[in-house]
Amino acid sequence: MSALDVAAAVRSGSRSARDVVEEHLDAIAAREPEIHAFNLVLADEARAAADAVDAAVAAGRDPGPLAGVPVALKDNLCTRGIPTTCSSRILDGWRPPYDATVVERVVAAGGIPIGKTNLDEFAMGSSTENSAFGPTRNPLDTSRVPGGSSGGSAAAVAAGFAPVGLGSDTGGSIRQPAALCGVVGVKPTYGRVSRYGLIAFASSLDQIGPFACTVADAALLLETIWGHDPADSTSIPTAAGSVLPDLETGVEGLRIGVVEELTDAQGVDAEVVAAVERAAGALEQAGAKVERVSVPSAVYGLSAYYLIAPAEASSNLARYDGVRYGLRVDAADVTTMMARTRDAGFGAEVKRRIMLGTYALSAGYYDAYYGQAQKVRTLIIRDFARAYERFDALIGPTAPTTAFPLGAKTDNPLLMYLNDVCTIPSNLAGHPAMSVPFGEGADGLPIGVQVLTDALAEPLMFRVARAIEIAAER
């Protein structure tokens, strides 16, 4: 059942939330050992929450739009009293004293957190192989990666462990695993969803968003979590509105651009480009006007991102010092203690990015690296602005390939970074983007088509995504 169907059934009393939870816990018990989507399954907590939802229904109260819907939470979202690890040893034993705003909103809407999902450590990766707790496997082919960094949430939804899930997207960490696992993944406009309680990777890029099996379910979860939050200084101080009412409006008369820099990007397989072209044809048949469009500076997005994101990470991760929380490796003096704690607590990829970022921010190199990357970011924003003067929405590939084998790229960081080549530009611009499954590759694994729109244009983006979804179902 979809999340919308589950919520409707629980609210009407035709199904109990407890039965829904037990059904999903059974699914987790059956396949979790081979997939490893979760760092922690919240079985007892989920049952208690389900009983509370059922009690509300029995008392004639409406539990909310997510009534009884199990939700998988990426393990970089703070949950009060429940371990939140970021899949890192550095946070060993830490239990947050508060909930992330998105977690509060999910619970207030009747949603039931069913587990904390695995991720690349501190969300740094594209395959969920960088976790301190071992890799997650793609439920469609367990010899393949699920994508990353939100691979645990993507795998949980694809495997039926939860109808919907939450992830974070800094350079494609929702959309890329959504594409590889054959589900819908959404990165909202920067500031649309509160980051309060999201453990930071790169603060000017991070954004929380939903995974779902359908566009409508993704819209339901997004409507639940978005909106202004005074606790987040970057939260947009306007009403978020809604997406679901216009979902079936169609694309008649819309102007859709196929982004040349994304279809021609390095490493993008011909079968992925062919899927984008078929999606463009389907939109044209549905009444849209489709043309090619150039966003010239997008070709520099990968280079700019891998200076900006590590620089912000080196600043954000300085707080893990062995003093305030998490792991502590004792030593004779404070300096040695901090060094040993970080050496023991951080994995290789996190260390690599901290060193890259620290170098980019160092005296004598700041202007040449970080400053220059920020100028490129401005060019990308301007080029997208020009594109949106002519087009209502843009499309392109989400990931360059279908899911690749476990271990295939772990020894080549640059090759791994190329997995984000199509998703990074939207993060740098702060614009919304989402991935929708559309066809399969020669290996039988799903391909994702990416829909991009201007800032705050999520309702339009979802209309286009729904039209692509309808075409994929035919």
Residue 74 a catalytic site member: yes
How far apart (Å, rounded) are the C-alpha atoms in residues 396 and 262? 6
Per-residue model confidence (pLDDT) at position 474: 84
Residue keyed to tokens 């959309």: 175
The catalytic residue among 88, 131, 149, 235 is 149
Is 103:221 a contact under the CB 8 Å cutoff? no
Residue 149 a catalytic site member: yes
In this prediction, residues 83-108 reach a mean pLDDT of 97
In this prediction, residues 364-385 reach a mean pLDDT of 96
In this prediction, residues 228-254 reach a mean pLDDT of 95
Bridge partners for 208 per DSSP: 168
Q: What average pLDDT is seen over the chain?
A: 97
The catalytic residue among 74, 116, 187, 409 is 74
Is 251:288 a contact under the CB 8 Å cutoff? yes
Joined together, the tokens standing for residue 353 give: 């990015």
Question: Is 241's pLDDT higher than 90?
Answer: no
Per-residue model confidence (pLDDT) at position 104: 98
% of the chain beyond a pLDDT of 70: 100
Is 85:75 a contact under the CB 8 Å cutoff? yes
Question: Is 425's pLDDT higher than 90?
Answer: yes
Superfamily of domain 3-246: Amidase signature (AS) domain (3.90.1300.10)
Q: Count CA atoms within 13 Å of residue 335 on its CB side.
A: 0
> Angle at Cα 451 formed by Cα 200 and Cα 213, nearest 5°?
75
Confidence tier at 446 by pLDDT (50, 70, 90): very high
The catalytic residue among 173, 235, 314, 435 is 173
Burial zone of 160 (CB within 10 Å; 0-12 exposed, 13-18 middle, 19+ buried)? middle
Q: What share of the chain is helix, strand, coil (3-state, %, to 5)?
A: 45, 15, 40
pLDDT digits (tens, 9 = 90+) for 32-84: 999 999 999 999 999 999 999 999 999 999 999 999 999 999 999 999 999 99
Question: Is 228's pLDDT higher than 90?
Answer: yes
How far apart (Å, rounded) are the C-alpha atoms in residues 205 and 316? 13
Joined together, the tokens standing for residue 104 give: 């509060």
pLDDT digits (tens, 9 = 90+) for 109-133: 999 999 999 999 999 999 999 999 9
Is 426:387 a contact under the CB 8 Å cutoff? no
Question: Is 240's pLDDT higher than 90?
Answer: no
How far apart (Å, rounded) are the C-alpha atoms in residues 272 and 340? 45
Q: Please state the φ and ψ torsions of residue 280, each to the nearest 5 degrees.
A: -60, -40
How far apart (Å, rounded) are the C-alpha atoms in residues 396 and 343? 40
Per-residue model confidence (pLDDT) at position 391: 98
In this prediction, residues 428-452 reach a mean pLDDT of 98
pLDDT digits (tens, 9 = 90+) for 293-351: 999 999 999 999 999 999 999 999 999 999 988 999 999 999 999 999 999 999 999 99
Per-residue model confidence (pLDDT) at position 239: 86
